[in-house]
Amino acid sequence: MPADTVPGGIVPERTWPVSRETESVDEPSDSRDDRYRQEIAESVPRGDDDTPLAAQLADDARRRIALVGRSLPRPSYPRIMTLANQKGGVGKTTSTVNLAAALSQGGLTVLVVDADPQGNASTALGVDHHGDVPGTYDVLVDGTPIADVVAQCPDLPGVTCVPATVDLSGAEIELVPEVAREYRLRKSLKAYLGGLDHPPDFVLVDCPPSLGLLTLNALVAADEVMVPIQCEYYALEGLAQLLRTVDLVKANLNPPLTVTTVLLTMYDGRTRLASDVAQQVRDLFGDRVLKAAIPRSVRLSEAPSHLQTVMTYDPTSSGALSYLEAAREICEKGGAEHG
Ligand code: ADP
Ligand code: MG
């Protein structure tokens, strides 16, 4: 492979415009973005799109032209979105952190609340979450203000995070006898957002793989639910239970709560199974399913071990492009009723 190509890509290896804050100041960003688009356009293979690889590369390059350096429409109020699915391994955490990074690359600000005791979102965002670090546990159990525990994500200037430590696993039990135990996160979040001159544009809450008190707190705190669905056999199993839980929360605890967004993850377009599952999900949820489906991608699964999202680890990968597309759709579609 020539030295100026990157594995799986056709874009010359150079500093990619990762975020507005990393841009150099001596060239206007518009003209630089135009120049990048021009270079990418020139690198699109011509006339040989007939091999699958060339077609894929050309398609990725065209998508990049449409996405690089574009800013996203800012919502008029902080959109609080909980990513929930009681199945493990469906892409909740991967979607939370990469959407946060994608939104911030589009010029928006995002608060990620890690509500999973495994703390995988905190890891991927490069935020410290060893035992002594205060985080979601302290907010839920001790009523510590979010302002006292929120951390800046090192690689993502627009993203902050309330980290999760292993202590959080105890919260499911410790909260049981507490008064208004389902409202704890909501109360803290409202107080935090209300006290900020510039609240974040999005709050994304990453849930554990269960429908216990942590997920309940996340659902009561949010206006919107995003359901990531893995394009595999059994994907729809358990979904009815999740939707029932959302309906119960809506009826009893948080009337505005709505499933606004469904995201297909680990989509492998070459398999019949993936397209069958995608079709079933689209039949069930209609236009709540984002057009952008996240492909199965090694780069996405590698990124957390480098304490990064794929948006900085490999911004030209198809996984990164898909999360950029998903972020754009989420912004353009707008949110639910604002509670
Ligand atoms: P959840 O939070 O729902 O349990 P994760 O986001 O942690 O799911 O994903 C489960 C595993 O699958 C992780 O190892 C993650 O790196 C990997 N993964 C997630 N999305 C993708 C994808 N699109 N392609 C490849 N691997 C993925
Ligand atoms: Mg997770």
What distances in angstroms separate CA 248 from CA 161, 212, 218, one per listed residue?
Answer: 28, 13, 14
Domain end marker among 67, 88, 120: 67
**Where are the strands (E) in the chain, listed by range?**
79-83, 110-114, 151-152, 159-162, 202-206, 224-230, 258-265
Q: Could you give the CA distance from residue 122 to residue 133 in angstroms, rounded to a whole number?
A: 11
Same structural domain for residues 22 and 127? no
Secondary structure of residue 263 in the 3-state scheme:
strand
In this structure, which residue's CA is closest to atom 20 in ligand 1? 91
Same structural domain for residues 149 and 265? yes
Domain end marker among 23, 47, 67: 67
Residue 72 maps to a domain: no
Q: Could you give the CA distance from residue 297 to residue 40 in angstroms, rounded to a whole number?
A: 22
For Cα atoms 21, 22, 28, give the angle at the middle one, nearest 5 degrees.
Answer: 80
Secondary structure of residue 83 in the 3-state scheme:
strand
For Cα atoms 325, 329, 334, give the angle at the middle one, nearest 5 degrees.
Answer: 155
pLDDT at site 36: 57
Domain end marker among 67, 94, 122: 67
DSSP state of 141: I
pLDDT at site 250: 97
Question: Could you list the pLDDT tens digit for every one of the 339 residues in the chain?
Answer: 343 333 333 333 333 333 333 333 344 555 655 665 566 556 555 555 567 777 777 777 777 767 767 889 999 999 999 999 999 999 999 999 999 999 999 999 999 999 999 999 999 999 999 989 999 999 999 999 999 999 999 999 999 999 999 999 999 999 988 888 999 999 999 999 999 999 999 999 999 999 999 999 999 999 999 999 999 888 888 899 999 999 999 999 999 999 999 999 999 988 999 999 999 999 999 999 999 999 999 999 999 999 999 999 999 999 999 999 999 999 999 877 665
Same structural domain for residues 218 and 256? yes
User: 94, 95, 231: which to mutate for ligand 1, most atoms within 8 A of CB?
Assistant: 94
Query: How far does the centroid of ligand 1 lie from the alpha carbon of residue 89, in Å?
Result: 5
What type of residue sits at position 339? Answer: G
Secondary structure of residue 318 in the 3-state scheme:
helix
90 CB under 6 A from ligand 1?
yes
Structure tokens at 321: 């492009």
Closest by CA position to 107, among listed 174, 148, 156: 156
What type of residue sits at position 284? Answer: L
Residue ranges making up the domain that contains 54? 3-67
Structure tokens at 241: 């239970």
Q: Could you give the CA distance from residue 157 to residue 216 in angstroms, rounded to a whole number?
A: 30
Structure tokens at 251: 């009826």
Residue 126 maps to a domain: yes
Residue 270 maps to a domain: yes
207 CB under 6 A from ligand 1?
no
CB 319 within 8 Å of CB 295: yes
Same structural domain for residues 98 and 50? no
pLDDT at site 339: 53
Query: How far does the centroid of ligand 1 lie from the alpha carbon of residue 157, in Å?
Result: 24
pLDDT at site 335: 79
Residues in the chain: 339
CB 262 within 8 Å of CB 288: yes
Number of domains making up the chain: 2
What type of residue sits at position 40? Answer: I
Structure tokens at 121: 């979102």
Same structural domain for residues 62 and 117? no
309 CB under 6 A from ligand 1?
no
Same structural domain for residues 86 and 232? yes
Query: How far does the centroid of ligand 2 lie from the alpha carbon of residue 83, in Å?
Result: 9
